[in-house]
């Protein structure tokens, strides 16, 4: 799944990096203490004119099949059985609104979520996800662009693994809260042509303590072709896990490369 969800604390703060040697050692204790500061208050204010853009909406690059599937699920959203998940470019936008007020990312923020790192519409990952709470199931319509090519004319296996990991992971997050990928198994059965539209269908298999077991597959929209089958294990993160990740990530960001 998107490991950036597990690293939500990473990259949300802007601090002055400590120098090497004695000053770096002295600063380390301060950093540990600083990591307890409320996460969202540590982010820099953004330009007031910027708004979070939902990229999981139809654009001119979407094929007719993609738009039709999107509209079909939006009708089910109106019925209350499914809900549409927004898709943003920066991880900070996934925080609840009450935690983001006045702390949105700047326009010149250097980081982007991997699946939303291409500016040109239709060239990379075009997708939209819908979740069914009662079935604990996530469906993602996916249209791979030409920048995802592996074998000539077909999507790279790594891009397929990425969209699977993202869909399985977001489903696990909806069910169990913050998680990280522990294991992802993929069985490639049929190549996916670039520009085609497929459905990534994932659901909860079972939960054992903090272990979240998921299954998923990628199939053609008519259901006649199964391109990929997958199983995954996610680990539910607890508060202390997130704090440890935050502290470790935060300290690493502050040390210049010459101190490594």
Catalytic positions, please?
Answer: 165
Whole-angstrom distance, CA of residue 249 vs CA of residue 252: 5
- CA distance to 43, 99, 181, 250, per residue, from 27 (Å): 20, 28, 32, 12
Bridge partners (DSSP) listed for residue 214: 204, 232
Query: What is the distance between the terminal CA atoms of the chain, rounded to a whole angstrom?
Result: 29
What is the spatial distance between Cα 163 and Cα 123, in angstroms, rounded to a whole number?
Answer: 15
Q: Rg of the chain over CA atoms, in angstroms?
A: 20
d(CA 233, CA 181): 6
- Does residue 102 come out as left (phi exceeding 0), alpha (psi in the -120 to 50 range) or beta? left
Sheet containing 211-220: which strands, arranged edge to edge? 83-85, 125-132, 137-144, 198-208, 211-220, 226-236, 179-188
């Amino acid at each position: 799944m998107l490991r950036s969800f597990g690293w939500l604390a990473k990259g949300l703060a802007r601090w002055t990096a400590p120098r090497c040697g004695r000053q770096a050692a002295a600063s380390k204790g301060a950093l540990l203490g600083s990591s307890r500061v409320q996460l969202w208050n540590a982010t820099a204010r953004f330009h007031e004119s910027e708004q979070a853009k939902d990229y999981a909406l139809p654009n001119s690059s979407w094929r007719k099949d993609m738009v039709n599937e999107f509209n079909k699920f939006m009708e089910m959203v109106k019925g209350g059985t499914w809900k549409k998940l927004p898709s943003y470019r920066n991880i900070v936008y996934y925080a609840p609104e009450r935690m983001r007020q006045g702390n949105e990312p700047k326009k010149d923020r250097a980081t982007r979520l991997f699946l939303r790192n291409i500016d040109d519409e239709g060239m990379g990952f075009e997708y939209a996800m819908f979740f069914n709470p009662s079935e604990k199931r996530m469906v993602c319509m996916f249209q791979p662009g030409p920048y995802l090519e592996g074998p000539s004319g077909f999507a790279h296996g790594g891009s397929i693994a990425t969209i699977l990991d993202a869909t399985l992971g977001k489903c696990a997050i909806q069910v169990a809260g913050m998680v990280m990928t522990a294991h992802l198994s993929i069985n490639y059965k049929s190549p996916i042509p670039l520009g085609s539209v497929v459905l990534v269908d994932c659901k909860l298999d079972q939960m054992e303590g903090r272990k979240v077991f998921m299954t998923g597959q990628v199939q053609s929209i008519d259901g006649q072709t199964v391109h990929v089958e997958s199983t995954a294990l996610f680990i539910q993160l607890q508060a202390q896990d997130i704090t440890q990740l935050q502290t470790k990530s935060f300290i690493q960001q502050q040390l210049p490369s010459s101190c490594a």
